[in-house]
Amino acid sequence: MEKKLGFGLLWLGFIAYAFLLAPPDHPDTLALIQKLALGQWDGINAWVVTLFNLMGIWPFIYACVLFADGRGQKVRAWPFALLSFGIGAFGLLPYFALRESNPSFMGEKDRLIKLLDSRWLGILLTSAAIALIFYGFRFGNLVDFAQQWRTSRFIHVMGLDFCLLSLMFGWILGDDMSRRGLEDSQLFVLASTIPLFGPLVYLCIRPPILEPDTAEVQVGG
């Protein structure tokens, strides 16, 4: 109950901060978002481009865990996972507040879960993240980015959203490791404490989910 209350309060607090305490919104924010979404990046700090696109990678990271986690939950995970593609942690926090611990996988993997369970998807996401970080270092201006983070609500909240998504991952990591028969405390610490690349490396190296028949064979064998 304390955990659910905590996530609920965090969700409400994040909303309140974003609209009441964050830096003021700029009149050109909508135009900036449109340019970022359409790939019209000329004149935009490369670190803003990098952050915006990394915020598109995070929902895939969470989807790789949440679609399996949603099996056996009273509340479906997929609506919240889909919402995260548009509003990040704002869409995921209600699910975290409503979900129960779920260390096992029920039923058989469908095509979508097989795709999200694939190490190749983790490798693809990791490669994209590395390319984006390189782009930021090669063409970006960190001093200008810091100034924009302090003065632009959109960039400010997006940066905080990135940090919050990094912190939240550990809360669902333990159950995902259990669904795969993993008992590695070092892997848990690395995947839950290293922002972005901890979860990405985990997706690249984790074994497949243990389906009921597989788990019974391993226990019996």
Six token digits for residue 206: 């984790």
| DSSP 8-state secondary structure symbol assigned to residue 24 | P
Whether 173 and 192 have beta carbons less than 8 Å apart is answered as yes
Handedness of CA 158, 160, 162, 164 (dihedral sign): negative
Whether 92 and 63 have beta carbons less than 8 Å apart is answered as no
Does the pTM of the predicted model rise above 0.75? yes
**16-30, 91-105, 119-133, range with greatest mean pLDDT:** 119-133
Six token digits for residue 107: 């039923």
The residue behind tokens 């699910």 is 95
Percent of the chain with pLDDT over 70: 95
Longest dimension (CA), the chain: 64
pLDDT score of 217: 41
Phi, psi of 219 (to 5 degrees): -65, -45
Whether 69 and 172 have beta carbons less than 8 Å apart is answered as yes
pLDDT at residue 158 greater than cutoff 80: yes
| DSSP 8-state secondary structure symbol assigned to residue 1 | -
Whether 3 and 82 have beta carbons less than 8 Å apart is answered as no
Euclidean distance between CA atoms 84 and 10, whole angstroms: 16
